[in-house]
């Protein structure tokens, strides 16, 4: 947590282009945008993985994300706003909001076809873990 760049931004130790801030959340432009308007939404509390956040934080961040998505769409005149929650580049739960255009030719997620046996096995494992 001491070296977390997002915690440093939250504390004002590093500069950022803030979009939104309240007592629980912060949103700011990313330093390596995929497109103009690409921003992040983070909880101020240091949480590494989304699944480790409490339900209140999850609900709050997604309600805020929806509000900011609408503003991004209006401001950038994009066709849609892509949400990405990968989180491997900074160990602090964060949501990417990326303005996208139907003709922007940016890469899509790589896909593959499920083999039936493999799909059945994956379903069994996940539903058992629920």
Q: Which residues are catalytic?
A: 94
Nearest Cα to 40, choosing from 104, 78, 107, 93?
93
CA–CA gap between residue 92 and residue 113 (Å, rounded): 32
| Coil vs helix vs strand at 86 | coil
Rounded distance, CA 52 to CA 99, Å?
Answer: 27
């Amino acid at each position: 947590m001491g070296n977390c760049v997002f915690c440093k931004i939250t504390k004002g130790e590093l500069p950022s282009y803030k979009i939104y801030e309240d007592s629980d959340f912060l949103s700011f432009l990313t330093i390596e945008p995929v497109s103009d308007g690409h921003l992040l939404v983070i909880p101020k509390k240091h949480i590494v993985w989304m699944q480790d956040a409490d339900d209140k934080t999850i609900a709050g961040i997604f309600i805020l994300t929806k509000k900011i998505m609408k503003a991004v769409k209006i401001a950038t005149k994009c066709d849609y706003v892509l949400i990405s929650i990968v989180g491997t580049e900074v160990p602090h739960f964060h949501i990417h909001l990326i303005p996208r255009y139907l003709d922007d030719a940016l890469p899509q997620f790589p896909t593959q076809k499920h083999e039936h046996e493999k799909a059945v096995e994956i379903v069994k494992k996940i539903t058992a873990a629920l």
